[in-house]
Amino acid sequence: MSSTPSGPSDVFIHEAALCESRQLGVGTRVWAFAHILPGARIGRDCNVCDHVFIENQVVVGDRVTIKCGVQLWDGLEVGDDVFIGPNATFCNDRMPRSKCYPEAYLPTRIQAGASIGANATVLPGLTIGRNAMVGAGAVVTRSVPPNAIVVGNPARIVGYVDTVDQASAAASASAQVPAAQGGVQLFRMPLIKDMRGDLTVGEFGRSLPFTPLRYFMIMNVPSQEVRGEHAHKECEQFLVCVRGRCQVMTDDGHLRQEFTLDDPTLGLYLPPMTWGVQYRYSPDTMLLVFASHYYDADDYIRDYQLFLDEVASRAATGQ
């Protein structure tokens, strides 16, 4: 057992490791045959396993686990509480050539709480969002949203972590206005059937929660695409999948829920300050969205961390 030359005595460095950096946090452990270059910065309570290589321009947060066979190249920033599985690969040059070096390496960011599965490959210049999960062997070619689960080559979103699954059957038999405290709610609108065809109806301001000032329709979405990924400060929305199906993930900063919209008699109410994502569109999907306000770019919150900060701020002030 040894410690970094000027680092704290409670940093463990295996005698078979080569640690040239003096910037290791308290409680970090570096195991056999790992090599850490002088410029690398490693946080507290990290676990750097056998045969890990970490280059100079790399920043690793606190409580990070880096499993065997991983290389962290210049330009990589790893947040707190990240897990990196065995042999995960990170790239930092989109057009690599032998002996040709870019002026600056594309920054790749792995945000706090994310997990990277074994043998996954992450291309340069991307962000793996907070708490996201990258499946084993995935090839990540696009940034991954917070909390998303991605798998495959190229990696696609297949779900969201820590969601409460709300099946379509959870909708009540008749429309109900949401409780006074607000919150996401799934509505079942009445269905009238006769020999001339079927009809479903909802009355805004009576059986449904607000009177809309705007509507828009989403269609012709490639099934792998994700829409939404934002919250509104004031605007309410009501979603009806009039044809096909899609998944909707909602997040109020405390509870994350998953809904399937696959029936035109189902409507999903999103109150203000709800982070919403729609994905897994069928090829024929037509999603109709009613909005309580006219379009206002300033009403959008498009950064998940800013959304969480706003939720916390409103809670602190009793809003």
The CA distance from 273 to 251, in Å, is: 9
Residue reference for tokens 């990924």: 229
Tell me the torsion sign for CA atoms 32, 42, 89, 133: positive
Residues pairing with 301 in the sheet: 231
Q: Which residues of 88-123 are buried (b: 16+ CB within 10 A; e: fewer)?
A: bebbbbeeeeeeeeeeebbebbbbbbbbbbbbbbbb
Which among 137, 130, 166 has a CA at the least distance from the CA of 151? Answer: 137
Catalytic, out of 14, 35, 230, 293: 230
Q: Is 230 known to be catalytic?
A: yes
Contact between residue 183 and residue 275 where contact means Cβ atoms under 8 Å apart? no
Which among 203, 184, 157 has a CA at the least distance from the CA of 261? Answer: 184
Question: Which contacts qualify for 140-144: CB closer than 8 Å, 24 or more apart?
Answer: 144/114
**Rounded to 5, what percent of the chain is helix, strand, coil?**
5, 40, 55
Catalytic center residues: 230
